[in-house]
Amino acid sequence: MIAPGNEWLAERATQGDATAFGDLAERCQPLLTAYVRAHVPNWTDAEDIVQEALLDAFRGIRRFEKGRPFEPWIRAICRNRVRKFFRRAVREREMFVPLDEACLRRMEALAAEGDRGGHEVAEAVWACLGEMSVRSRMLLELRHIEGVPLAEVAARSGLSRGSAAQTLLRARRRLRLSLSRGLPA
């Protein structure tokens, strides 16, 4: 028996046939994985992107135009997911505000002095944290001490992802400024 074509399965899927969509997803997954792996070096990220694209396709299958080829449609969804992945990666990198070089040099010099120097750095950090709001301290601790992903930090704090990112950005800027002023030259 000849297996049904992708367009027939896509038509069935647009009518609500979840099994037909599952068959389509199974057929297209290797193509999508190859496409994503060509753009995204991390295997885990690539798998996540493919799964998100398939979920997007499932949610939007009723918008698929009957009679059109299915592969270009689902590949476009996947391409949009890859783009979203890179936009998010750029935004997350921009949200990190490193300490300036002069501040880092002073911290290293103090730490090199032994316990006294390290103690002064710790005091400066704690003094700065003590001046921050409870929310800012909590977000900094979750993100940078516990290593919690930004989306989860937002969920735990009851903020949107964008608000959590902005709060963290401001808190890191304040910490950097406070440390650069509070550490002896």
Task: Tell me the torsion sign for CA atoms 137, 141, 142, 143.
Answer: positive
Q: Show the tokens assigned to 92.
A: 């997350």
Q: Are residues 121 and 162 in the same domain?
A: yes
DSSP per-residue codes, 60-129: HGGGSPTTS-HHHHHHHHHHHHHHHHHHHHHHHHHT--PPPHHHHHHHHHHHHT-HHHHHHHHHHHHHHH
Which of 45, 69, 94 is the last residue in one of the domains?
Answer: 94
Query: Does 142 lie in the same domain as 83?
Result: no
Q: Note whether residue 20 is domain-resident.
A: yes
What pLDDT score does 185 carry? 43
Higher pLDDT, 45 or 2: 45
* Torsion on CA atoms 57, 61, 66, 67, rounded to nearest 10: 20
Q: Are residues 113 and 160 located together in one domain of the fold?
A: yes
For residue 135, name the pLDDT band (cuts at 50, 70, 90): confident
Q: Is the model's pLDDT at 113 over the cut of 80?
A: no
Q: What is residue 159's three-state secondary structure?
A: coil
User: What is the CATH classification number for the domain harbouring 35?
Assistant: 1.10.1740.10
133 and 62 part of one domain = no
Let me know whether 34 and 87 are in one domain: yes
pLDDT tens-digit series, residues 21-40? 999 999 999 999 999 988 88
Please state, as a whole number, how many other Cβ atoms lie within 10 Å of the Cβ of residue 83: 11
Question: Do 136 and 158 meet the contact criterion of CB atoms below 8 Å apart?
Answer: no
Inside any domain, residue 1: no
40-49, 85-94, 123-132: which has the highest mean pLDDT? 40-49
Domain housing 124: 101-182
Residues 115 and 72 in one domain: no
- How many domains does one find in the chain? 2
Looking at the fold, whether 41 and 117 belong to one and the same domain comes out as no
Among residues 94, 119, 149, which one ends one of the domains?
94
Considering the domain architecture, whether residues 50 and 127 belong to the same structural domain is answered as: no
Which of 59, 94, 129 is where one domain is finished? Answer: 94
Same domain, 176 and 115: yes
Encoding tokens for residue 122? Answer: 């710790």
User: If you average pLDDT over residues 155-171, what whole number do you get?
Assistant: 86
